[in-house]
Structure 1
Amino acid sequence: MTGPGRSTAVEPLPDRQVALIDLLDRLLAGGVVLTGDVVLSVADIDLVRISLRALIVSVSAENPSPWEQSAPSRGGDDG
């Protein structure tokens, strides 16, 4: 089903250049989750398995850093 103004043929998107900084800006605005697994094995026996996960997001006025206000003071008040 196609509505008015929609074509049934697949039309290619127009060629436009996207700068790497624009791509990173869009990704960080919404956040990026990176995951990966590393397995060290010898003779088909898994010796070490490491699961890696990282959340990368930009910090802005709407999304303040959680460490900005709650950072421990490094003064000499310990005694």
Structure 2
Amino acid sequence: MSVETYTTTATEPSLVDLLDRLLGKGVVITGDVVISLAEVDLVRIQLSAVIGSVRKEMGMYD
């Protein structure tokens, strides 16, 4: 009688791998902040950010 052992590892990407993929392709982040009083908007801020790799834009990224 023989016993076989199989080991499986999860292929979940690490945080560094995810950041590398996001920066390689680029990310757009948007958000809205509204401050209101008695259902009257007093302040509205719209935020947008584009995050990408500098190396890619300068032609250094293969």
Q: TM-score, normalized by length of structure 2?
A: 0.73
Q: Which runs of 4+ in 1 moved over 3 A?
A: none
List runs of 5+ in structure 2 lacking aligned partners.
1-9
Looking at secondary structure, tell me which structure has more helix per residue.
2
Which residue pairs with 1:41 in the alignment?
A: 36
> Normalized per residue, which structure has more strand?
2
* Root-mean-square deviation over aligned CA pairs: 1.5
- Deviation at 1:16? 1.5
Specify which structure has the bigger relative contact order, considering alpha-carbon pairs within 8 angstroms and separated by 6 or more residues: 2
Larger radius of gyration between Structure 1 and Structure 2: 1
Q: Which amino acid aligns with 2:57?
A: N
Q: Per-residue displacement from partner, 1:6-44 (whole Å, max 9, x unpaired)?
A: xxxxxxxxx422100000000110100000000000111
- Count of matched residue pairs: 50
Identity over aligned residues, as a percent? 57
